[in-house]
Each structure stands twice: as structure tokens, then as C-alpha cells.
């Protein structure tokens, strides 16, 4: 039997070799795992230093965990180089939380691109905080303003955190482990001087612990300057900059040229320190826990000399000068050229010090000139190097001194005259710098050169005016006196000052007084230049309402000759006060008044109102008011406004632009109550106004005048109408009242005609009888029995006028007042026969009588109607009516009917009413009726009249119409008599 041998293919052998080579290559490229990891904490800076051995890898992954909670705090890939001395890699990590807060675990692995090694073994930084107490970290930390700081609180084992507070702010904690909690203060501001407290408490025992944090700034000094005072040593100063808010052991430390410098505070908030020798170059280092700052300076000694302050200054004074002396601290100044400055301050005006500069070698005193006598001054001195001047040294202490007194300056004298007051000598009180010491008195001398008369008076020092009694110093032969005033003090007396006082000063006419307005702080005045004038001018002013010179002083200024303008200014000017400003020529003779002005520095509304009164004048109201006193005007019066006051509103009636107006008449008012207000006004406005009321009553005289005026006008019209009608009477008569032709009767009218004999009809005879039931003292008419009625009705033709039957009638007891006494004929009556003769009156027209003559050839037949039974009685006139009613003669009804036989017409009222009623008028309705009735009897005879009456008798039916025609008839009769002409 035979055995087979294995066969190796070359292909399989090649694959195996390549695979083995690849596995070997991969095994070589995997990084080595870091070994010997070491962790070293720096708790003050919260930094953790990590080192390890890691082979040739250049990058590593670092993982830091909170051990207990296994929370990642940091995981990054970092590049770390090898320390050639130790052969180890080292990297530093800064923790946000203090390292004491919790245990930390660190692991590292090597990285080569995307290839990493396994993690190293875990290295743990154990927390060594005891478990039986509560702790707060970090302690006493110093941080800059604006930083963020994390604090942690570690409570006892088995306890719970209660609160964490930053100052008074409650924080929100984050757990780091079972015992540790953290909070973070963000954007911290400046802490208190002693720092800010962070406090935590646990529960249930409420134990607490805390930490302090200091928040401030790093140092920032500036302006390092080194100088010398004694030309040997050096003093370096700098500005400390802003406050770092860190003090004590945390405060800023200074090093000057690498030597500890104890800084001291000097003037101007400078800090400095001294060195024994001048070195020329200086370096200052300022340092505190938050940082440091470096300053440098360099200079030569001679360029930095600053003398010290002069010592022990003294003074020697006179009236006008003072000498100030002092000493030096260092004798080296005796050979040093110095420049010194003395500052002089008057005690009376401390806001205006003056500085005087002096120079010299080793200067130790200066003299101050042009001082004022009897005035107190304060002075101080400082000096500096005259060559290579660096800075002024410090001021010496201030000393005070008073200069000696001296004779006063000459007074400014003026005079003042006014027609209301005596003449006065005025002078301006001297200021302290003019008086050169307290004034003891004034001496005033008045004298007249013409009469060599003199009077001297001593005036107290508080007086600036003296009254002048001109009659005691001069007579009528002088025209002026001279006043001289001298001021005295303990140092002597002033030079005399004089002014001439005229005995008679011509005043300016009021109309020539001009107004001047206050502008730019004064009253601008101007006047014409007088080329012949050689003297000066004086402008004075005073309150225009002065009651006395003491209450209102006079001010004045003197101007040189040739001036033509000035602005008058004074601190005494007050708003609302009028000032009189006068211009005088001041020569060797007495002053002469040239011009006067009046003005206000500010016009105000008047302080008082006018006194208003009201007076009724007919239908008008007169408003009258008085003048506002000058003291109350407070401005130039421009006029008055007149208002009508309805209680709630003022309505302007008139604006009176004349300040001199004192009254105003309000016209066209009706009856009633009125209230008026008058307001004076200036350029500043109106015053409060004066108000007065008045009740407008009906004006009786005016009504009478109106009546008389109406009567006069009416009479004038009537007179004019009468004159016109009289002048035009022919035309008026022709137009309105033509002549009526006279009637022509048939028969022979050429022979003279006798009077018409009218015989009474037998039927017309009546007797006056007494009626038993009436008053026996009164007469009545009774009917006389006549013949038969038939016989009466026959009516024979006779040459006598027909007689109408007349019945007795009731006699009216009222007095008979004839209306037309001249138009009726007399009635024949006989009281003895008791018969009544009844006549008939004719009608007069156009001023002529219409006379009826008996017709010889025939007679008119008159029809007598029978008497109505009610009109008469058998005896005594009894019956129902009790009286006679007149016959009713009716008018013709048409043209064919005549008046010869009228038919009686009676109305029931007429038949029943008692009493006789006379006819009030009688006239034809027309001329035609008059013509047609010429042949009839009735028209010619008219109406019957009674014995005692001249009135026509009309029927009752026409009574009212006749009464209405009475005024027209009377006027027509008057007008007819006026226009008619009398015919023979």
C-alpha cells in the first residue's frame, strides 16, 4: 500500500505571508497608553497640574470627572510636548469651582490622528474636607470688577443645604456631590471696604459658614514728577489714579528705583516719597493683588528747584505803603536768584485780590505801594527759581495789617433848589477809600462876596445836606451866595469844595419838560452844543414825588465842557417811580437851568384808581373822575378806558387817549340801572379800575319839553296852514266851498219888503200849566183845547205862512245852552197869557239871510197831519207818554216828492220815550234839494223851536247822525266864516 504527500500551492503561500505582514504592521501603529499619571492641585489659583509618561504621541485626550456623580467637567484633545529633563508630559487645567469642592478623577489616552490608545488608569484627587462640619470656598478671594466667581458650600454628611446668599442676594445652588453645592456671582461690582460676604446654611440645625470676596481695581498711577527743595534731596510725587478699593495687605505697594517707598498723601491728591540724593532717573512700580503699573521720570537737579514757603512773614505800614518781610528754611536760598509774588487782598473787598511780583538774590522782603489809608489788608507770599523756573513754591501764611489814616478827599458838592422847598447844599458821602478814616464832622460855610457876610456850621458825619436860609446871609442887593464844605477826620481835613447858589432860580416851564425812556441801564440824555459855553455841566435827578430831601436824596454827575450827551445811571433807581432829571450849566457864576426831563426806569400799572362819580343829565349819564396822584401813577398816563360793567363782563365804550380827560358822557341810554368802570392805563397796562353805579330815572323836564315841542310843532303847522289858506282863500273857496246862488222867488220883489209877519196858527197856542205829579216849582206846557180836528185839516189859503200844530212837550230841566245863538230868531212869548208863540227860523248860508216874502198871488197849502193819540191828552197832558214829542218831518223820498206835505214817521222808541230832544243841526243834503224846496214851505220855514231853545227840532231817528255831524258842521261853519267875504 502506498502514502500520498501534501501539496503547497505557491498562491496560498503568498497570501499567508501578506496577511502576517499586515497584522504585524497594525500592531506597530497603535499609540501607547499613558503611564504614571500624576495630579497636583494649586488651590489658591484653582489650577490642577497633570503629568504622565506617554511615549512618542503628541496629542492626548484629557477627561476630568466629578468622581462621586461621574459627571464630566472637562474633555478636550490637547497638544502637549515632552519635558526633556524629566521625560514627562505636563498640562495645567484651571477649574471654575474651587478644588476643595469635590473629588476629581483624571484619565488620559494617547491620540495619533484618528487612532487612540486605551484610557490610562484613573487618577483621583480626593477631597480632604471633614464630614462633620460645614465649609465655604474660596476664602478671601480678590477679583477685579466685572468678573464672575463660583463659590461652593460643603455641608455635613447626611445634612441638606438650606440657602446661599451673596451679601443680601439669595443665590440658586447647583449640586456637585452629595455634600457640595456651587453658586456663581456674575459681573461683580465693587465690594465694601471690608469685602462682600458669601454665607451658606444647612438644615435642620441651620449651621452656617461663609467666605469673603474683595472686588476692586488694579493700580493705575500717573504723572510721576521728581523735584528738589533744598538742592540736594529729591521728592517724587505722582497721582494715585482711581481708588482700587483694596486696602491693608491687599492695597497698592510702591517701589521707587527698586526701593520700598512708603507713599504719603500730599496736596492736590498727590502721593509721594523722598530720596536722600538726587539720582536723575526715576522708576516707580505700583502693585496690588490684581496687577501692577510702572512709571518713569528723568531731569537735572537745577531744572527742578521748587522753593519752600516763606516763613514768619511780618509787616511795617504807613498811610499809603506797607513792607512785608519773611525768612527761609534753607540757607542755600541766600545765593539763589528768586522771583516772589505777593498777593494783596483788601478786607473790604476780598473778591478782588491783587498780585505784585518782585525778584532778587535770596529775596526776603518786598514793599507794597499805593495802598489806601485806614484800610485793612491781608497778604501772603510765594517764590520760585528765577532761572530755569520750574514751579511756584507754596504760599506762606496770610498776615493782616491796617494802614494809617489820612486827610479825606475833597467833597463833590452841589446845590438843589425847588419852589416847594428851601435851598440846600448837598455833598456826596465819602466812601471808606475816599474818607481815609472815619469822618468826624463836616464844616459848611455860607458867604456873600458882595456884602462880605459869612455863616459857618458844623454838621454831624451822618449828614450830607444843609438847608440854606438865604435871608440870613444876604440882602436884596445880592444875586448869589457861595457855599463851601470841608470834611474832617483824625488825619486832617479835606480840601474845600464850593458851589454857587442863585437867589432866584428860573424853573423850566412844564410844557417844555421832555420825556426820556430808560434803555441799556440808564437814561440817555442829549442836548445841543453851545459853542459859546465854556463851563461844565451838571446833571441832577431826584424822585418827582419827594416829600422831603431826607426821604428822597438828590443824585448828580458833573460833566466837562463840550459834552452833549450822557447816560444817567444809579443804583437807587426804582421801577414805577418818576424821576426829574435836570441839566445845569456850571460856571463861575450861579448855575443856570437849561433843560429838564422826566422818566421811569420801568413803567408799571397805576397803583390806585380814579375817584369816579356819575350824574344823570336828561337821558344821558355824565361820568366824572379825579386825577390819580403822581405817586400812584407809576408810569406816564396814556389815557382812560371807559367800560360798561354788566357784573361779569366789561364792554369797552370809549378809549380816551387824552390823559387830561376828566369826564365822559354816555348818551342814548334807556331807563334802568347801569354800572360803569373807568381804568387808567400806562404802557404797562390798565389799573384795577374804579366802578360806579347809577339808576337812570325818567326825566320830567324832558317830557315837558317834548310836550311843548310837540305843541309848538303842531301850532307851527296850523299857523302855516292857516296863513297858506288865508293867502289862497279864493282858490280854496272855489275849490272846496263855491258860492251857492241866492234863491229867486216869484212875484214882485222890486218894492221894499216888510218884515215877514208870521201869525201864529190857532193850533200853535199853548199854555204853560202845572202838572200835579211834577215839581210845583217848575213850569210846564199844557194843551189849550182847540177847535175840531176836521176844521184844522181844511187849511184855507191865506197870505200868512202855514202854521203847524205844536204840542206840549216835556221841558228839559237842564240849562239851555244855545249852540247857534246867532242863527235863530227870537221867539215871542208872554208869561201873562200863558200862550206860546212858535216861530220858524231860516237857515243862513254863505253869510246872507234867506228871507221868505208872502206870495200875493197865492199861498202854499200846508197839510197838517192829525195828531197821534199818544202825543196829547184831553186834560193835563196825561197819557202813556207823559209828554209831547216833536213832529217828525220826513225828508222827500225822491225827486218828485215835495216838502209841502210831509208824512209823519214815528218809531216805537220815540213814541214811548219821554222828554223833548232839540234838533242839533239842520242842513240840506245837497244843493239840488235846496233848489227843489224853494217853492215849498217847509224848507223855508225850517224846524220849529221851543220858547227857550234855538236848536232845530229833528226826529229821534236822525239824532245820532246829527250828533256825528256836529264837529264837521262846526268846523265847516268856522272854515266858512274864515273864507267867506261879507256882502252888503
pLDDT of 538 reads 92
Which residue, 262, 269, 272, is CA-closest to 242? 269
Average pLDDT for 943-950: 43
2 contacts: CB under 8 Å, gap ≥ 6: none
> Can you read off the three cell numbers belonging to residue 515?
420825556
Judged by DSSP in three states, 707 sits in helix
Residue-wise burial string across 568-577, b where 16 or more C-beta atoms lie within 10 A, e elsewhere = beeeebeebb
Bridge-based pairing of strands 592-599 and 514-515 is: parallel
Look at residue 733 in the predicted model and tell me its pLDDT. Answer: 80
Q: What's the whole-number mean pLDDT along residues 917-926?
A: 42
* Measured distance CA(628)–CA(427) in Å, rounded: 34
| pLDDT reported for residue 727 | 86
| Sign of the C-alpha dihedral computed for residues 916, 922, 925 and 927 taken in this order | positive
Q: What is the DSSP letter of 877?
A: T
3-class DSSP assignment, residue 712 = helix
The answer to whether 685 and 606 have CB atoms below 8 angstroms apart is: no
Cell 234839494 belongs to 929
Lowest mean pLDDT among 156-160, 547-551, 626-630, 900-904: 900-904
More confident residue, 732 or 604: 604
Q: What element of type H or E holds 154?
A: strand 149-154
C-alpha cell, 227 = 523735584
Convert the pLDDT of each residue in 67-122 to its tens digit. Answer: 999 999 999 999 988 888 888 999 999 999 999 999 999 999 999 888 899 999 99
**Spatial separation of the C-alpha atoms in residues 94 and 44, rounded to whole Å:** 11
CA 884/CA 886 separation, integer angstroms: 6
Q: Are 328 and 393 in contact (CB under 8 A)?
A: no
Cα–Cα nearest to 226, from 288, 116, 303: 303
User: Which pLDDT tens digit goes with each residue over 579-620?
Assistant: 999 998 887 778 888 899 999 999 999 999 999 999 988 788
CB distance 401 to 376 below 8 Å: yes
Count CB atoms within 10 A of the CB of residue 343: 16
Say yes or no to pLDDT of 641 above 90. Answer: yes
Cβ(207)–Cβ(217) below 8 Å = no
State the residue for C-alpha cell 396822584: 629
- Residue 357 is predicted with a pLDDT of 96
Given phi > 0 = left and psi -120 to 50 = alpha, else beta, which region is 492? Answer: left
pLDDT in tens, 655-698: 999 999 999 999 988 888 999 999 999 999 999 999 999 998 87
Closest of 817, 790, 801 to residue 764, by C-alpha: 801
Question: Which string of DSSP letters, residue by residue, matches 496-545?
Answer: PEEEEEESSPPPPPGGGPEE---BTTBEEEE----TT--SEEEEEEEETT
Q: What is the pLDDT of residue 486?
A: 96
pLDDT tens digits for 528-542? 887 766 778 999 999
Lowest mean per-residue pLDDT among 287-296, 802-811, 854-863, 950-959 = 854-863
CA triple 285-290-296, angle to 5 deg: 15
Distance, CA of 133 to CA of 142 (rounded, Å): 25
| Cβ(272)–Cβ(266) below 8 Å | yes
Q: Collapsing DSSP states into helix, strand and coil, what is residue 863? A: coil
Calpha distance 98→778 (Å, rounded): 162
CA 52/CA 821 separation, integer angstroms: 177
DSSP lists the bridge partners of residue 242 as none
* 3-class DSSP state of 774: coil
CA–CA dist 883, 893 (Å, integer): 29
Grid cell, residue 568, equals: 444817567
Nearest to 645 by CA among 610, 675, 623: 675
Percent of the chain whose pLDDT exceeds 70: 69
Tell me the CA distances in angstroms from 367 to 83, 329, 384, one per residue in order: 82, 22, 18
pTM metric for this prediction: 0.52
Confidence of residue 475 (pLDDT cuts 50, 70, 90): low
Q: What is the per-residue pLDDT for 832?
A: 41
> DSSP string spanning 65-126?
EETTTTEEEEEEEEE--B-TTT--EEEEEE-SS-TTSS-EEEEEEEEETTEE-PPPPPEEE-
Q: Write out the H or E segment, with its range, that includes residue 968.
A: helix 959-979
Strands 115-116 and 123-125: unpaired
CA 285 to chain centre: 70
Report how far apart, in Å, the C-alpha atoms of 385 and of each of 299, 364, 427 are: 16, 14, 52
pLDDT digits (tens, 9 = 90+) for 351-400: 889 999 999 999 999 999 999 999 999 999 999 999 999 999 999 999 99
What sections of 162-229 are H helices per DSSP?
none
CA gap 533, 530 in Å, rounded: 5
pLDDT at 861 over 80: no
Among positive and negative, which fits the CA dihedral 325, 329, 335, 341? negative
Q: What is the rounded average pLDDT of the residues 919-928?
A: 41
Cα 539 from chain centroid?
A: 38
Closest by CA position to 578, among listed 627, 630, 628: 630
Tens-digit pLDDT profile for residues 423-438 = 889 999 999 889 999 9
Check whether 202 has a pLDDT greater than 50: yes
**Residues 523-534, buried b or exposed e (16+ Cβ, 10 A)?**
bebeeeeeeeee
Enclosing H/E stretch for 717: helix 700-727
| Cα–Cα dist 853/615, whole Å | 80
pLDDT digits (tens, 9 = 90+) for 514-526: 999 999 999 999 9
The CA distance from 414 to 498, in Å, is 8
Please report which helix (H) or strand (E) contains residue 203, including its range: strand 196-203
Q: Grid coordinates in use for 816?
A: 239851555
pLDDT of residue 391: 94
Residue 623, H or E segment: strand 620-625
Residue 11: per-residue pLDDT: 62
pLDDT at 849: 36
Q: Give the pLDDT score at 548.
A: 64
- Average pLDDT rounded to a whole number, residues 272-291: 92
pLDDT given for residue 755 in this prediction: 58
Residues 898, 908 contacting (CB under 8 angstroms): no
Are 444 and 482 spatial neighbours (Cβ–Cβ below 8 Å)? no
Distance from C-alpha of 402 to C-alpha of 42, rounded to nearest angstrom = 75
Contact indicator for 939, 801 with CB cutoff of 8 Å = no
Amino acid at each position: 500500500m502506498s502514502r500520498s504527500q501534501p501539496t503547497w500551492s505557491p498562491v496560498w503561500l503568498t497570501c499567508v505571508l501578506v496577511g502576517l505582514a499586515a497584522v504585524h504592521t497594525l500592531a506597530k501603529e497603535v499609540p501607547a497608553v499613558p503611564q504614571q499619571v500624576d495630579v497636583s492641585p494649586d488651590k489658591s489659583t484653582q489650577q490642577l497640574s497633570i503629568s504622565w509618561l506617554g511615549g512618542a504621541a503628541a496629542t492626548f485626550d484629557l477627561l476630568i470627572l466629578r468622581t462621586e456623580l461621574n459627571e464630566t467637567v472637562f474633555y478636550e484633545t490637547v497638544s502637549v510636548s515632552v519635558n526633556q529633563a524629566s521625560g514627562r508630559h505636563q498640562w495645567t487645567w484651571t477649574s471654575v469651582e474651587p478644588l476643595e469642592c469635590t473629588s476629581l478623577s483624571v484619565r488620559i489616552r494617547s491620540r495619533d490622528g484618528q487612532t487612540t490608545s486605551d484610557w490610562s488608569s484613573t487618577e483621583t484627587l480626593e477631597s480632604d474636607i471633614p464630614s462633620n462640619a460645614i465649609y465655604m470656598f474660596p476664602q478671601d478671594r480678590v477679583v477685579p470688577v466685572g468678573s464672575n466667581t463660583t463659590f461652593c458650600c460643603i455641608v455635613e454628611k447626611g445634612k441638606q443645604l438650606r440657602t446661599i446668599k451673596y451679601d443680601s442676594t439669595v443665590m440658586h445652588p447647583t449640586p456637585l456631590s452629595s455634600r457640595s453645592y456651587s453658586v456663581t456671582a456674575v459681573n461683580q461690582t465693587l465690594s465694601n471696604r471690608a469685602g462682600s460676604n458669601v454665607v451658606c446654611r444647612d438644615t435642620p440645625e441651620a449651621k452656617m459658614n461663609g467666605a469673603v470676596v474683595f472686588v476692586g481695581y488694579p493700580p493705575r498711577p500717573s504723572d510721576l514728577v521728581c523735584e528738589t527743595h533744598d538742592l540736594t534731596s529729591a521728592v517724587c510725587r505722582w497721582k494715585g489714579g482711581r481708588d482700587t478699593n483694596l486696602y491693608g495687605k491687599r492695597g497698592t505697594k510702591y517701589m521707587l528705583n527698586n526701593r520700598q517707598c512708603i507713599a504719603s498723601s500730599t496736596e492736590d491728591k498727590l502721593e509721594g516719597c523722598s530720596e536722600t540724593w538726587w539720582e536723575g532717573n526715576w522708576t516707580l512700580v505700583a502693585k496690588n493683588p490684581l496687577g501692577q503699573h510702572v512709571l518713569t521720570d528723568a531731569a537735572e537737579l537745577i531744572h527742578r528747584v521748587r522753593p519752600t514757603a516763606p516763613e514768619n512773614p511780618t509787616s511795617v505800614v504807613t498811610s499809603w505803603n506797607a513792607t512785608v518781610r519773611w525768612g527761609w528754611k534753607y540757607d542755600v536760598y541766600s545765593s539763589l536768584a528768586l522771583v516772589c509774588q505777593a498777593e494783596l487782598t483788601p478786607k473790604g473787598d476780598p473778591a478782588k485780590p491783587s498780585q505784585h511780583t518782585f525778584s532778587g538774590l535770596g529775596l526776603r522782603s518786598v514793599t507794597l505801594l499805593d495802598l489806601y489809608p485806614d484800610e485793612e489788608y491781608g497778604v501772603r507770599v510765594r517764590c520760585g527759581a528765577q532761572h530755569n523756573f520750574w514751579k511756584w513754591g507754596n504760599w506762606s501764611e496770610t498776615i493782616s495789617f491796617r494802614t494809617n489814616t489820612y486827610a479825606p478827599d475833597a467833597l463833590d458838592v452841589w446845590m438843589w433848589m425847588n419852589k416847594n422847598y428851601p435851598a440846600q447844599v448837598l455833598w456826596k458821602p465819602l466812601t471808606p477809600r475816599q474818607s481815609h478814616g472815619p469822618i468826624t464832622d463836616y464844616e459848611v460855610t455860607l458867604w456873600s462876596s458882595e456884602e462880605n457876610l459869612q455863616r459857618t456850621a458844623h454838621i454831624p458825619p451822618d449828614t450830607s445836606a444843609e438847608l440854606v436860609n438865604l435871608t440870613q446871609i444876604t440882602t436884596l442887593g445880592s444875586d448869589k451866595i457861595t457855599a463851601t464844605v470841608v470834611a474832617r477826620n483824625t488825619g486832617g481835613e479835606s480840601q474845600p469844595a464850593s458851589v454857587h447858589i442863585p437867589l432866584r432860580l428860573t424853573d423850566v416851564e412844564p410844557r417844555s419838560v421832555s420825556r426820556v425812556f430808560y434803555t441799556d441801564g440808564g437814561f440817555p440824555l442829549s442836548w445841543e452844543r453851545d459853542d459859546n459855553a465854556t463851563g461844565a455841566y451838571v446833571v441832577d435827578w431826584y424822585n418827582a414825588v419827594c416829600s422831603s430831601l431826607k426821604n428822597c436824596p438828590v443824585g448828580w454827575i458833573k460833566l466837562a465842557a463840550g459834552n452833549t450827551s450822557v447816560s444817567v445811571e444809579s443804583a437807587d433807581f426804582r421801577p414805577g417811580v418818576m424821576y426829574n432829571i435836570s441839566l445845569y450849566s456850571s460856571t463861575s457864576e450861579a448855575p443856570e437851568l437849561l433843560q429838564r426831563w422826566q422818566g421811569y426806569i420801568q413803567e408799571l400799572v397805576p397803583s390806585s384808581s380814579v375817584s369816579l362819580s356819575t350824574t344823570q343829565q336828561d337821558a344821558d349819564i355824565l361820568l366824572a373822575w379825579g386825577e390819580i396822584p403822581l405817586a400812584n401813577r407809576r408810569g406816564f398816563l396814556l389815557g382812560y378806558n371807559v367800560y360798561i360793567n354788566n357784573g361779569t363782563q366789561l364792554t369797552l365804550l370809549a378809549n380816551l387817549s387824552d390823559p387830561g380827560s376828566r369826564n365822559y358822557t354816555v348818551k342814548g341810554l334807556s331807563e334802568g340801572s347801569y354800572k360803569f368802570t373807568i381804568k387808567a392805563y400806562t404802557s404797562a397796562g390798565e389799573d384795577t379800575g374804579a366802578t360806579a353805579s347809577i339808576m337812570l330815572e325818567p326825566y320830567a323836564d324832558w317830557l315837558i319839553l317834548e310836550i311843548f315841542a310837540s305843541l309848538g310843532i303842531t301850532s307851527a303847522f296850523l299857523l302855516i296852514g292857516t296863513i297858506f289858506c288865508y293867502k289862497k282863500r279864493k282858490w280854496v273857496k272855489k275849490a272846496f266851498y263855491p258860492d251857492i246862488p241866492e234863491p229867486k222867488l216869484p212875484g214882485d220883489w222890486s218894492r221894499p219888503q216888510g218884515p215877514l209877519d208870521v201869525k201864529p196858527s190857532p193850533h200853535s197856542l199853548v199854555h204853560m200849566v202845572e202838572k200835579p205829579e211834577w215839581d210845583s216849582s217848575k213850569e210846564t206846557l199844557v194843551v189849550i183845547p182847540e177847535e175840531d180836528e176836521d176844521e184844522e185839516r181844511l187849511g184855507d189859503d191865506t197870505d200868512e205862512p202855514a202854521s203847524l200844530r205844536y204840542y206840549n212837550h216835556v221841558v228839559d230841566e237842564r240849562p239851555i245852552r244855545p249852540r247857534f245863538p246867532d242863527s235863530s230868531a227870537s221867539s215871542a212869548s208872554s208869561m201873562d197869557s200863558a200862550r206860546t208863540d212858535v216861530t220858524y227860523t231860516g237857515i243862513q248860508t254863505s253869510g246872507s239871510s234867506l228871507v221868505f216874502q208872502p206870495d200875493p198871488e197865492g199861498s202854499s197849502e200846508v197839510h197838517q197831519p192829525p195828531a197821534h193819540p199818544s202825543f196829547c191828552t184831553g186834560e193835563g197832558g196825561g197819557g202813556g207818554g207823559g209828554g209831547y214829542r216833536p213832529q217828525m218831518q220826513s225828508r222827500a223820498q225822491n225827486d218828485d216828492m215835495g216838502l209841502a206835505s210831509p208824512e209823519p214817521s214815528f218809531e216805537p222808541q220815540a213814541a214811548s220815550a219821554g222828554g223833548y230832544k232839540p234838533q242839533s243841526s239842520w242842513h240840506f243834503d245837497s244843493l239840488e234839494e235846496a233848489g227843489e224846496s224853494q217853492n215849498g214851505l217847509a224848507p223855508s220855514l225850517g224846524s220849529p223851536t221851543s220858547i227857550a231853545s234855538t236848536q232845530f227840532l229833528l226826529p229821534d231817528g236822525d239824532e245820532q247822525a246829527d250828533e256825528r255831524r256836529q264837529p264837521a258842521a262846526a268846523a265847516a261853519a268856522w272854515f266858512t266864516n274864515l273864507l267867506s267875504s261879507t256882502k252888503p
